[in-house]
Structure 1
Amino acid sequence: MFPFIQKMLSFQRSFSVSPFPILPLQLPSPMETHLWFVVPDEFKSVSLLNQYMELLSPCEKENVLSMRGEQLQKQALLARTLVRTTIARYQINNRVVDPRSLKFKRNVHGKPELEWESDGGQCPSPLHFNISHTSSLIACGVTVNSSIGIDIEEKQRKIKNNILAFARRYFSLHEVEHLSAISDSEVQRQEFVKLWTLKEAYVKALGRGFSAAPFKTFTICIKNGFRRGFDHANDLESG
């Protein structure tokens, strides 16, 4: 069982003015998660978006411009800007960080990580982050010395397939039983989306990729209406 024990603080980033200078913040405490978010529809200034583009690496710029359509490009740009300006706010070893100087890498499973350099050269970064976005919200979570995974979904997300049939394919037996006990179809849909979001966030926190942690191999434990943690199974459960 892996219980939820992190304290979460949420901050909305306002990019309505120039992002410089970036005011420093203290790092999250060991038992604390900082969650930063922006609303894409609030960003309408083309000149300001062009400023944000200059914060990105050549590879990031290429990825943004490769997106089809202005909206997807805007979302990708704001996502990378949020990551860079958020991480740059945290001073590690009393260093002021220029968001343009940040370097990123991917672990062997493809999870993005911060590449940190100390006086002695490269070293593992104490700061961990993860990002998720929808068309209406972009969020970045930050922790220290603790892996993090976040996922956000649209509250009104529609499920094309039969919910229980879909759940039997991907969820654990206990989760399917939980959904089966809900008679109201709308409440069942909402609960399915919540479970899916929690499971995806957990897999992202593990950082081993979805193939290494199939959804059926763990269960979101629900007790008295509250999600209390995760139970692992060594083998796949059949739905």
Structure 2
Amino acid sequence: MTSISEESFMYVVCVRIAGIEQITSINEYMHYLKFLSKEKKERLSRFNRKEDFLRSLVSDLLTRIMLVEKFNLSNMDIRISSNSYGKPYLDGHSVEFNVSHSGEWVAAVVSRFPVGIDVEEIQPINVDIARSFFAEKEYAEIVAKAEDEKLTYFFDLWTLKESYIKACGQGLSVPLNLFSFSLENEKIIFENNHSQEHYYFRQYQMHNQYKLAVCSSYPDFPSEITTWSLEQVLDTAKKLLYAERNG
């Protein structure tokens, strides 16, 4: 079993899957399944929509590439399980990871500390749903925004909240109104009535139609994210994961 590099902390990578709606067939991507677990292969084989297939495939490949590249693990040693709330974790290694995808983007984070990541495409939505699910203070702040700012602010809060529940590993079993966020001059203010554990947050600019937030129990974040193309992920998978698979 390979060891983890002690100087590794956190890495965030975003992949733009441009034009996925124009893909005519998933057959050209099927041979990448050999790098994944048996369970993941079976799950992907049941996908009916090619967009969902590709997002899920890239999420898994990207996670494996980052774990092999950044933490000196072997792809053959990467065994992913899920806790009782559905959060995936790595068997046998003290490494944390999380993935998210929306629209044309897939985002992944790996770390030696608990982490969560969420990316969301900014789409038209009735922001009044925040009245039912968000903290009262958050809803009040959304309502107070100018009309052309409400939607963007809603997704700022949504991605931060999603990143938190994914980092703490309890999913939607945590009521979204038990903790709240406020953004003041780019400073993220977090109030938590759910847990006494400390968590930290960072937002990244990746595309003007998307929001991205990362949560970690460790306060240091990379200053910027790494952006890859779909071709880079597939090429790296063939080189790095194939070498690990056959090495």
What TM-score do the two structures reach when normalised by structure 2?
0.69
Decide which structure has the larger Cα Rg and report it. Answer: 1
Shift of 1:64: 0.9
Out of 99, 109, 133, which is 1:131 matched to? Answer: 99
Q: How much is the aligned-residue C-alpha RMSD, in angstroms?
A: 2.7
1:109–1:208: 8 Å Cα contact kept in structure 2? Answer: yes
Q: Which residue of 1 aligns with 2:236?
A: none
Q: Distance in 1 between matches of 2:5 and 2:13?
A: 14
- SS of the aligned residue for 1:220 comes to strand
1:39–1:136: 8 Å Cα contact kept in structure 2? Answer: yes
Stretches (4+) displaced over 6 A: 42-48
Out of 177, 183, 193, which is 1:233 matched to? Answer: 193
Shift of 1:34: 0.9
Shift of 1:109: 1.9
Q: Which residue of 2 aligns with 1:205?
A: 167
1:57–1:100: 8 Å Cα contact kept in structure 2? Answer: no
Out of 118, 141, 150, which is 1:178 matched to? Answer: 141
Among the aligned pairs, what percent are the same residue? 27
Aligned residues: 190
Aligned ranges 1:82-161 → 2 under 5 Å: 82-91=62-71, 96-116=72-92, 125-144=93-112, 146-154=113-121, 156-159=122-125, 161=126
- Asked if 1:56 corresponds to 2:36, the answer is yes
Q: Which residue of 2 aligns with 1:73?
A: 53
- SS of the aligned residue for 1:37 comes to strand
5+ residue gaps, structure 1:
1-24, 117-124
More relative contact order, 1 or 2 (CA 8 Å, 6+ apart): 2
- SS of the aligned residue for 2:115 comes to coil
- Asked if 1:41 corresponds to 2:41, the answer is no
2:180–2:191: 8 Å Cα contact kept in structure 1? Answer: yes
Deviations 1:62-93 (A, max 9, x none): 111111122221221111111112111134xx
Higher-helix-fraction structure: 2
Instruction: For 1:224, give the aligned amino acid.
Output: N
What TM-score do the two structures reach when normalised by structure 1?
0.71
- Asked if 1:166 corresponds to 2:129, the answer is yes
- SS of the aligned residue for 1:153 comes to strand
5+ residue gaps, structure 2:
196-247
